[in-house]
Structure 1
Amino acid sequence: MADRRRVIVATRLYTPEVTAASFRMDALASALADDMDVTVLTTRPPASARPFAEPGAVRVKRMPVLRDRSGAIRGYLQYLSFDVPLFLRLLAHRGDVIVAEAPPTTGLVSALAGALTRAPLVYYPGDVWSDAVASTNAPRLIVSAMRRVERFVLRRARCALAVSPEVGERLGALGGHPERVEEVGNGIDTSQFHPGVASVRVEKPYFVYTGTMSEWQQPDLFIRALARLEEEDVQIRFFGQGSSEKKLRELAEELAPGRVHFGGLISPSESASWIRGAVGALVSIVPGIGYDFARPTKTYAAAAVGTPVLFAGAPTGAEVVRAGGLGEATEFSVDEVTAAMHRLLVDARDGTTERERARRAEWARREVSLQTVGSRAADHVRRALRGSGDEHP
């Protein structure tokens, strides 16, 4: 229709990649497509991705991008391989509003293109990237440069969308415009993650870890705990990618040979099936390195299929588990994780896990449906397009 407005979504991660960011952006694009023409400018998925079909209501434009050995788009060179061509792509695919996902360099390119095409910017990061960079002991010059870029993007954006109150508060403080930050929450696609999905059938009980494996999660904690459960014939199944994968493989071979398996990238439906059949879903956030505010999507995915969570680490994520009765929340400690693994094994054997499954899934459907989050985010994009927010400085 001639009067339909045009939205350009710029994101390096999009389905079929199994990441929180790709789920968020897919939910947003789908919600916007109800009454707007949506074009997603993104990347070709890694070679390991399963065959997939593009969504019919959204136009998806893909280009090749540099990836690291694990298949992730992680690192400054990899980011630039997406961001530099993105500038020209944004000029070629003009929209009435641009929605940019993190990192801040993508926001910067989108802000500059938006200034030339007179399209307002909505910035939709999953967290505060300059804080995350600082937490990795990056050189001070890099941290300072990233903070300046992020501050510029937040000041130029008509609106910034935050996944939690903690992220929203930090974005508002960093950009100096807290009134432009809107909390939309975070969630999981409950049409794919629900207790009715078929469980994967394997011979031995297992815990499952899905998603990114990096220094701010340090999932080696779970391998070390597994090694202490010598009397239990239980395994860990890792799915995903990340900078820590090589070290995790080496540690598994050393401490628990034959008991830890790495399945690479899988589709959301496969992920749901593996989570559904697990004794528990493993989630970790290292406390005190800048990610204490994180509320990992892994927690929501497990809750949505009714599988208990074993969360280790920072207090915000632990409180989500405790408040929702979603499983076990422990300190970032091998001793505590080992004990929690044992308790979840007992729950699986005595029927507690199945008795609690429907209640946990209902919590997820009510509290963290990604469809609701996508609709909420889309409403803020529409308001930004109408100019109801503050004008650019």
Structure 2
Amino acid sequence: MRHRGEHYTLDDIAFLPRPAQRPGVPVWAAGFPGNVKHIRHAARFKGRFPASLDHPHQLVEAVAALTDRATARWLRTTSPSLCRSAAPPSRTRTPAQRDGFRSLTQVHGDGDTVRGVLRDGPAAQEGDSMFDYDSELVHYHRRLWSALDVRPHDRVLDIGCGTGQTTRDAGRAASPGSALGIDISSPMLTRARQQTETEGLRNVSFVQGDAQTYAFPPEHFTLATSRFGTMFFSDRIAAFANIGRALHPGARFVHLVWQSGERQEWHTAIRAALSPERVSSTPAGESDGPFALADPDVVSGALTAAGFTKVDVVDVREPVYYGPDAERACAAVLQLWMAKEMITDMDAASAERARDRLYATLDAHDTGDGVWFDSRAWLVIAHRS
């Protein structure tokens, strides 16, 4: 960890001061060097956190505030590798502790854990729900699976595996081979490991890490895949090159990426419902985030530069699912960071109106067989040279 004035970095994560949007409300953001946009959103500490980080250990509390107060509970209870208390907690709680924060005096250099917190928020607590990406992407999963063509004895690498549906399916099909899933999200990997144990799959495993830099065994895997997990790399060429080094010569890399935001009904409709003023005044960026590989020339060029050959990019159009009815779809959508970011600055009345508009939009997309939105993706197939 390095400290440069008011700029803190942990591995490749930078904590930067942002201009305060309201008097007396310090604002911080976290981002990757070279990325002009901060990750997720600026966190408003509402006077409960200093405008400058006086001590490196406060980075943990900054992570908590950047996501949700529940993150502080997760850091205290389930991530001893990231932080540990220097002494037993006092029985006298400070105002900050009463608001859900605890002073943590030692931060270890676990950048993957921090990245996971920043991307996905706090780990799910017992009884909490997690957005069901497997149900949302059920049709895309079938398209990806058909293209993968996993064979017995394959050694499959799943990039951005999430809760591990593709990894588990690959492990079953590859037996007596194996499947390894990698993701930066601790809560998703916890769910993946639990489900894998429930299904009794002995040849499926998971690691927490960034596929851009993770030290995979060289030329080990016979097949790599990703279901919408390759758009978030800070350096896509370096990431693809690292994945390529892990593949056996001639192995395929099969992954799905989103086309542009304007071609995603789920994106445009939900944004318009939650914050029509912001949608009309601020165009969605395509250079990073979920649409970073929306241009087929960009993804093809990055793979070629990373050493892949015979790159094929295929147009895929499938609906995505948000729930059996508008009420449960609304609850699901409000778990997504896109929705949280759009309503975070609203007052109570404005947020309630936004939720009403969202419900109406979702109800209009209730087909009688669930709430569905149109979407477009690229199925990308490349070969390791």
Same fold (TM over 0.5): no
| Larger strand proportion of the pair | 2
What TM bracket, shorter-length normalisation?
0.3 to 0.5
TM-score by length of 2: 0.36
TM-score by length of 1: 0.35
| Larger helix proportion of the pair | 1
User: Greater relative contact order: 1 or 2 (C-alpha under 8 angstroms, separation 6 or more)?
Assistant: 1
